[in-house]
Amino acid sequence: MKRISALLLAVLFVLSLAACSSAKPESETTADASTEAADTQVTGGWAVTENEAAALPKEVQTAFDKATAEYTGMDFVPVAYIGSQVVAGLNYAVLCESTTVTADPVTALKVVIIYADLQDNAEITNVADFTVSDYTDNAGKTRNEILAGGWSAPEEVGKAVIPAEAQSAYDKATESFEGNSLDLMALLGTQIVAGTNYAFLCHSTIASADPALSVIQVVTVYEDLDGNASITNICTLDIADFNQ
C-alpha cells in the first residue's frame, strides 16, 4: 500500500508540472462590425436636383472610385463630400445622387459611407437615405448643435452646379444674415409653394462657439412671388446618423 501511495503521488506531481508548463497567456480579440445598405426613395414632396458631380478631394475620389467599382445594383454621382472619420484607416461620408440599375430606374439622395483601410483598399460600408424634408421643416437639430460621433467637417468642399434662380435667392437671403458664416456646397432640391422653397447644403462656421465650430447644415430659403428671399430654417447634420 505504501508503494502504491508513493507511486500515485509521483504521477500526480508529474501531471501538475505538465499543466503548469502548458499554460499560455490570454490573447486579445477584436470584433468586426458590418452594416447593410438601405434603398428607398426620397420623400416629402421635394424634387431631387440633378447636379453635376462635385469635385472630391483627391484621396476621397480615389477611395470613392475603388469602392463604387465593386458595388452593384446602384450607380452613384457625388454631390458633396460631407465628412471624414479616423478609425483604423478612414471613413468618408459622401452625399450622392443614386440611381438604381433596374428597368425603371429610381433616383434619390443617399449618404454613402466609404471605408479606406491602411493598405489603400476601399469599400462601401453603408448607404443611407437622405430625405430633404427631414431637414427643412423645423425638424431635427438646431443650428448650434455640433457634429457627434467623432466626425469632422471638411474645410474645402466641391460646389455642384447651382441654377441661376436658386443662386439669386440664396444670395438675397444670406446678404443680411448675421448668424453663422455659410459656404454654399450644393442645391439639394426645390419646393413650389406660394413662391419657392430652396434647400441648400452648406458648410457652416459657428463663430459664437469657443472655439469656433465647423458643421454641415441644410439651409432652407423661401423666395416669395415678388422676389423677396429669406432664410426660414437651418438644420445641422449629424453624420453619425448615416453610419448606423
Portion of the chain with pLDDT greater than 90, in percent: 45
Final residue belonging to a domain, choices 104, 131, 158: 131
Residue 6 included in any domain: no
Give residue 143's pLDDT band: very low, low, confident or very high (50, 70, 90).
very low
Q: Are residues 62 and 111 in the same domain?
A: yes
- pTM across the whole model: 0.75
Asked whether the CA dihedral 232, 236, 239, 244 is positive or negative, the reply is negative
Tell me what the mean pLDDT of segment 176-198 comes to. Answer: 88
Tell me what the mean pLDDT of segment 70-80 comes to. Answer: 93
Q: Assess whether pLDDT exceeds 80 at residue 46.
A: no
- In whole angstroms, what is the distance from residue 182 CA to residue 164 CA? 18
In whole angstroms, how far apart are CA 70 and each of 64, 81, 112, 218, 242?
A: 10, 20, 14, 31, 21
Note the pLDDT tens digit of each residue in 86-110. 899 999 999 999 999 999 998 899 9
Final residue belonging to a domain, choices 131, 146, 163: 131
Q: What average pLDDT is seen over the chain?
A: 78
Residue 70 included in any domain: yes
- In whole angstroms, what is the distance from residue 44 CA to residue 39 CA? 16
Per the structure, how many domains does the chain have? 2
pLDDT of amino acid 157: 66
Portion of the chain with pLDDT greater than 70, in percent: 71
Q: Assess whether pLDDT exceeds 60 at residue 155.
A: yes
pLDDT of amino acid 202: 92
Give residue 167's pLDDT band: very low, low, confident or very high (50, 70, 90).
very high
User: The C-alpha cell of 49 is what?
Assistant: 436636383
The answer for residues whose C-beta is within 8 angstroms of residue 65's C-beta and 6 or more apart is: none
Q: Are residues 86 and 165 in the same domain?
A: no
Q: Of 227, 169, 164, which Cα lies nearest the Cα of 198?
A: 169
Instruction: Write the DSSP symbol of residue 36.
Output: P
Highest average pLDDT, of 123-127, 180-184, 202-206, comes from 123-127
Residue 27 included in any domain: no
Please give the torsion angle defined by the CA atoms of residues 161, 241, 143 and 78, in that order, rounded to the nearest 10 degrees. Answer: -10
Half-sphere CA count of 140, side-chain side, radius 13 A? 24
CATH number of the CATH domain containing 199: 3.10.450
Q: Are residues 118 and 202 in the same domain?
A: no
